[in-house]
Amino acid sequence: MKKLALLLALVLLVGVALTGCGGGGGGGGNNTLVIYSPNSEGLVNAVIPAFEERYGVTVELIQAGTGELFARLRSEAAAPVADVVWGGGYTIYAQNMDLFEPYVSPNNDDLIPAFRNTNGYTQPYVLDGSVLVVNRNLAADMNIQGYADLLNPELRGRIATADPRTSSSAFAHLTNMLLAMGGYDSDEAWAFVEALFDNIDGNINPSSSGVFRSVADGEMIAGLSFEDPVVQIIDDGADVDIIYMAEGTVFLGAEAAIIRDANNIEYAQKFIDFIISHEIQEVFATTTTNRPVRADVTMSDNMLPMSDIFTIYEDYDFVLENREALVQKFDDIWVSLQS
């Protein structure tokens, strides 16, 4: 009996050990994929249930702001909890490249060339562009087609913007207009920034969402905003127009990456493949207000195809290296205008 009891105990011990070797993601097991994401519910609902159904995997989704999630990734670097980080702009990824596992999806070659994974780590999956939002009724007698038209004296004090020093969307507009009006280091471009913010006349909105809302509500005539929410309020019935600047529109990618030493590399790679697949990119294009990174998909009625937009391209490396200097130069202009 003692031998039998000992044998049973050994079998039980081996079974527990084998169960513990199942591996994988903070949720436990190779059928769990842990994703950190700042994304909206629209994107989450378009992707996560479909991914779980396709691969029979359970996604453990942890949502928070981009900065908070990256601080968490940094603190967990020695023992990663997340398998994938999904969302956020290139700048914060570029500053944390050591956190990521190298991977280039086979679907990468199907993307618009300017928005492919070229560094071997980070994968753009949707785009957002700087745009103008214009109140149709209030601007009925104005011809607003780009940045230069915002210098119209009739718009003085009626242009909405967030603060380029603190808002990512407003900073994107700052670099967009500099690039469009002559270049990041151009005296002419900076003179335009000064003239524009003089016409803005001190009206900096405390939030980026306040910009398009103030235009939709008729408080402001025009605003410096971004494509996703403006398309959304048009879809919801707002009486506004979306304007892609005649001088050129910059689109920036939202990124995703696999965490270095992730517990579930296999499904992390499948997830990257999935979010840039034709199937999911088509879902983005037709059921969300996020612009896909593939050209071979059907666009929603309120979103122009990229081929119909004069597109210019951010110098990511320059902007990343000179961000503080650009913000400081803007701050000097802003302070001088207020004095």
CATH assignment at residue 217: 3.40.190.10
Residue 98 identity:
D
pLDDT score, position 299: 85
70 in the same domain as 176: no
How many C-beta atoms surround the C-beta of residue 307 within 10 A? 7
Cα dihedral value 60, 64, 68, 69, nearest 10: 30
DSSP annotation of 204 reads: B
pLDDT score, position 245: 98
Tokens, residue 88: 């956020």
Provide the domain limits for residue 328: 129-251+310-338
* Cα–Cα distance for residue pair 36/72, rounded to 1 Å: 10
Residue 314 forms part of a structural domain: yes
Tokens, residue 210: 């306040």
Q: How many domains does the chain have?
A: 2
Give Cα 136 to chain centroid, integer Å.
Answer: 28
CA distances (Å), origin 26, targets 32, 34, 81, 284 = 8, 6, 5, 28
Residue 261 forms part of a structural domain: yes
| Structure confidence by residue, pLDDT tens digits, 88-141 | 999 899 999 999 999 999 999 999 999 999 999 999 999 999 999 999 999 999
322 in the same domain as 217: yes
109 in the same domain as 34: yes
Mean pLDDT across the chain = 90
Residue 60 forms part of a structural domain: yes
216 in the same domain as 115: no
Low-confidence ranges of the chain (pLDDT < 50): 1-28
pLDDT score, position 293: 96
pLDDT score, position 2: 36
Residue 15 forms part of a structural domain: no
Q: What share of the chain is helix, strand, coil (3-state, %, to 5)?
A: 45, 20, 35
Residue 5 forms part of a structural domain: no
Q: What percent of the chain has pLDDT over 70?
A: 91
277 in the same domain as 247: no
* Cα–Cα distance for residue pair 60/131, rounded to 1 Å: 34
pLDDT score, position 42: 86
316 in the same domain as 223: yes
Nearest to 242 by CA among 215, 267, 265: 215
